[in-house]
């Protein structure tokens, strides 16, 4: 105990700077989550009262028996897998291209061009994408018509709505993951690649067995962050589809929001808690798998 206090005192400046951010995180991050979980165990009609009626796991039983919720959960998982794979693959391709001499003096321009959507406000960006997808005056179908190609259904069809959201989110997020990959590429040991080249390794062999293993930290960070990002997909749905058409984009976050808007607070927060547990479990699992692989 005395040793721990001594260590804390030696690092007092560090804790002094960390304390305000830790306090804000607890106040505006952890505490609302705790309150949300608490509401999930109460009857909706009394959830916001000072003395709510406790119903135990009744809300969870209702939610897990709801076919709409189960369908939205499956839809969310499929969308998350597709989005994580697409975003990391595109970001890695951009990073590798920009790390090379492919673009010459235009390298900085292309880096900024790919990263710019990341700092573009979500709503503004998705509103533009909604206009682009419009069947009547959207630029995408206008371009396809000019080329003599069939129209793209975009947000108006259940068959293409999910892909349309994925493309919009890919545009918005891939630049962030690209920066992480570029940072990892910048600190890799290039001497290993030179040694592999001298030993006669092909370009693919150098990439697969020398470069890619060194990118494991970036892959883990990006994978965990992307998993969290896309499991809780919400803003793009609100702006572009409102869960349609025919519930094709009715993800868990949107469905929970609808129930909350209807005053079904207990069920809505139960859904949010299930999603929160899923996010924590899958993210932690992915991190542990990556960490275990790194330790081999």
Q: Read out DSSP for 183-223?
A: HHHHTS-HHHHHHHHHTT--HHHHIIIIIHHHTHHHHHHHH
Residue 128: is its pLDDT beyond 80? Answer: yes
Which residue from 88, 110, 90 is spatially nearest to 98, judged by alpha carbons?
Answer: 110
User: Which tens digits make up the pLDDT trace of 7-38?
Assistant: 767 777 877 888 888 888 888 888 888 888 99
Crossing angle of helices 67-99 and 265-295, in 10° steps, is 40
Establish if 49 belongs to a structural domain. no
Instruction: Give the residue among 147, 165, 146 at the shortest CA–CA distance from 248.
Output: 165
Surface-to-core class of residue 23, CB atoms within 10 Å of its CB (0-12 exposed, 13-18 middle, 19+ buried): exposed
Asked if residue 37 belongs to a domain, the reply is no
Residue 170 lies in a domain: yes
Say whether 158 sits in a helix, a strand or coil: coil
**Region of poorest pLDDT, from 120-124, 159-163, 279-283:** 279-283
| DSSP H helices in the chain | 2-10, 12-25, 31-39, 58-64, 67-99, 107-115, 122-133, 139-146, 161-186, 190-198, 203-206, 212-214, 216-231, 235-240, 252-261, 265-295
| pLDDT for 1 | 59
Secondary structure class of 151 (helix, strand, coil): coil
Q: What residue numbers bound the domain in which 241 lies?
A: 61-295
Quote the CA–CA distance of 82 and 88 in Å, as a whole number: 10
User: Would the pLDDT of 257 be above 70?
Assistant: yes
The residue whose two tokens read 């990959």 is 181
Residue 35 counted as domain residue: no
CA dist., res. 240 & res. 126, Å (int) = 7
The answer to whether the beta carbons of residues 214 and 190 sit under 8 Å apart is no
Is residue 11 in a domain? Answer: no
Q: Is residue 137 part of a domain?
A: yes
- Give the per-residue pLDDT at 18: 82
CATH number at residue 157: 1.10.3720.10
Is residue 112 a part of any domain in this protein?
Answer: yes
In a domain, 140, yes or no: yes
Instruction: Write out pLDDT tens, residues 169-225.
Output: 999 999 999 999 999 998 988 888 888 888 888 888 888 888 888 899 899 999 999
- As for how many domains the chain has, the answer is 1
Check whether 294 has a pLDDT greater than 60: no
Whether the per-residue pLDDT at 116 is higher than 90: the answer is yes
Cα 36 to Cα 194: distance, rounded to the nearest angstrom? 54
Mean pLDDT estimate for the chain: 89
**Backbone angles phi and psi of 42, in degrees to 5:** -120, 160
- What angle do helix axes 31-39 and 265-295 make, rounded to 10 degrees? 130
Mean pLDDT confidence for 89-101: 91
- The pLDDT score that the predictor gives to residue 296 is 53
Q: Are 133 and 154 in contact (CB under 8 A)?
A: yes
């Amino acid at each position: 105990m005395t040793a721990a206090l001594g260590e804390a005192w030696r690092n007092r400046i560090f804790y002094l700077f960390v304390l305000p951010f830790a306090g804000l995180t607890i106040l505006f991050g952890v505490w609302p989550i705790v309150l949300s979980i608490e509401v999930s165990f109460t009857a909706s009609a009394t959830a916001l009262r000072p003395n709510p009626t406790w119903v135990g796991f009744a809300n969870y039983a209702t939610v897990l028996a709801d076919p709409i919720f189960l369908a939205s959960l499956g839809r969310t998982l499929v969308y998350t897998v597709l989005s994580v794979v697409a975003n990391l693959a595109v970001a890695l391709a951009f990073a590798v291209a920009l790390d090379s001499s492919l673009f010459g003096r235009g390298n900085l321009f292309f880096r900024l061009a790919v990263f710019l959507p990341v700092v573009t406000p979500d709503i503004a960006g998705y509103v533009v994408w909604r206009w682009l997808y419009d069947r009547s005056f959207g630029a995408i179908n206008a371009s396809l018509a000019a080329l003599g190609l069939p129209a793209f259904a975009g947000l108006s069809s259940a068959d293409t709505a999910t892909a349309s959201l994925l493309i919009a989110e890919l545009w918005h997020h891939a630049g962030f993951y690209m920066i992480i990959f570029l940072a990892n590429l910048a600190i890799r040991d290039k001497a290993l690649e030179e040694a592999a080249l001298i030993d006669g390794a092909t370009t693919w062999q150098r990439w697969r067995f020398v470069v890619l293993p060194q990118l494991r930290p970036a892959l883990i960070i990006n994978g965990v962050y992307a998993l969290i990002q896309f499991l809780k997909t919400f803003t793009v749905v609100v702006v572009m589809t409102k869960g349609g058409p025919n519930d094709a984009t009715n993800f868990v976050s949107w469905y929970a929001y609808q129930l909350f808007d209807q005053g079904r607070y207990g069920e809505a927060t139960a859904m949010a808690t299930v999603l929160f547990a899923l996010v924590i479990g899958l993210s932690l699992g992915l991190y542990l798998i990556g960490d275990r692989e790194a330790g081999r």
